[in-house]
Amino acid sequence: MPKLSQPGPTPPAGKAAVRAGVADDVDAVPGRRWLARVTETGPGRNLGLVAVLAVLCVIGIATADTFATTANLVTILTSASIIGVLTVGVTMVIIGGGIDLSVGKVMALSSVWATTVATQSYGPAVMVFCALAVGAGAGLVNGALIAYGRIVPFIATLAMLISAQGLAEQISGKRSQIVTDPAIAALASTRVLGIPLLVYIFAVVVAVGWLVLNRTTFGRRTFAIGGNPEAARLAGIDIRRHTLLLYVVSGLCCGIAAIMITSLTTTGSSTHGTLYELDAIAAVIIGGTLLSGGRGTLIGSILGVLVFTTITNLFVLNNLATEVQNIAKGAIIVAAVLVQRSRE
């Protein structure tokens, strides 16, 4: 009696079939398999950003005679330092599954409050404390509304953006407040080994942020909450308290950035930080952090800041209009999100 042929395995359907086909294609070529594995890792993505920076530098050298000068490179680092400090806080919030749209205007409010005549009369220490306290206080309000008020992060931080803008204008009378204390102004003018002190402050904030995210329980809980909040809750993590602390950290970074921009411009103004929140979020996305949370690297976010700052510098050196810069930034953000979606 002839043997009946056994039915073969059922081929995968839908997305599974597509993934299986992609996997087969990748495995068929050793080079592609290696490249896929590298680009899926944090260091691999960071290497890609370093390569992008290198290409931008080549373009800058080819199109602008002043790009590779020491003065211009210092300008790029100084510009990146302020947005970079904001990006440290935004990275933590996004990894934790949230979003913070208020960082630019919270920074402006902190700068205005720290440069009132009354605050400056108490000296630089009180000015610094005031900026940090205002930033942390705004973050506390954001965190309380989101964690305990159960308001969507987008709405809560958007409301804070508008409120901080209005309060800054109310306090300053829509006028720039001049810094009269030489100690605050000296932060931007002081250089160590030819590098502005602001860049060292930026480096310290990044180092502390990296240690917190990668070497502490707080950092591990941040990744856990962003990746799977329900699993984190069942593991005994107090999600509401941790979310509150994440926004306080973001606000504290706003306070630090306020001190830096106040020193750099020697003013406190309600116009400081306009659209800085978008630059910070864009840098985080370019750096490989998922908008849905649970995955990301602080180093990638800082490389994203450097990429954006270098692009802006190239546009300025080549006399391109601000409108062109904004269009290019928007296109880069969309491209970065599409790349993220393709990897999910």
Give the per-residue pLDDT at 89: 95
Domain count, the chain: 1
**Residue 187 domain flag:** yes
**CATH number of the CATH domain containing 103:** 1.10.3470
For the segment 236-262, the average pLDDT, to the nearest whole number, is: 95
pLDDT, residue 331, reads 82
Position 37 pLDDT exceeds 60:
no
| Banded pLDDT at 25 (limits 50, 70, 90) | very low
Residue in this structure with the two tokens 């934790």, named with its chain if needed? 96
How far CA 195 is from CA of 75, 256, 263, in Å, comes to: 10, 19, 15
Q: Is 174 left (phi over 0), alpha (psi -120 to 50) or beta?
A: left
pLDDT tens digits, 170-190: 999 889 999 988 899 888 888
In a domain, 1, yes or no: no
Encoded tokens for 315:
């546009």
Q: Is residue 92 part of a domain?
A: yes
Q: 45 lies in a domain?
A: no
Range of the domain at 233: 52-343
Q: Is residue 43 part of a domain?
A: no
User: Is 177 among the domain residues?
Assistant: yes
In a domain, 36, yes or no: no
Q: Over the stretch 67-109, which tens digit does the pLDDT of each residue have? A: 888 899 999 999 899 999 999 999 999 999 999 999 999 999 9
Is 334 a member of any domain? yes
Both tokens of residue 154?
């987008």
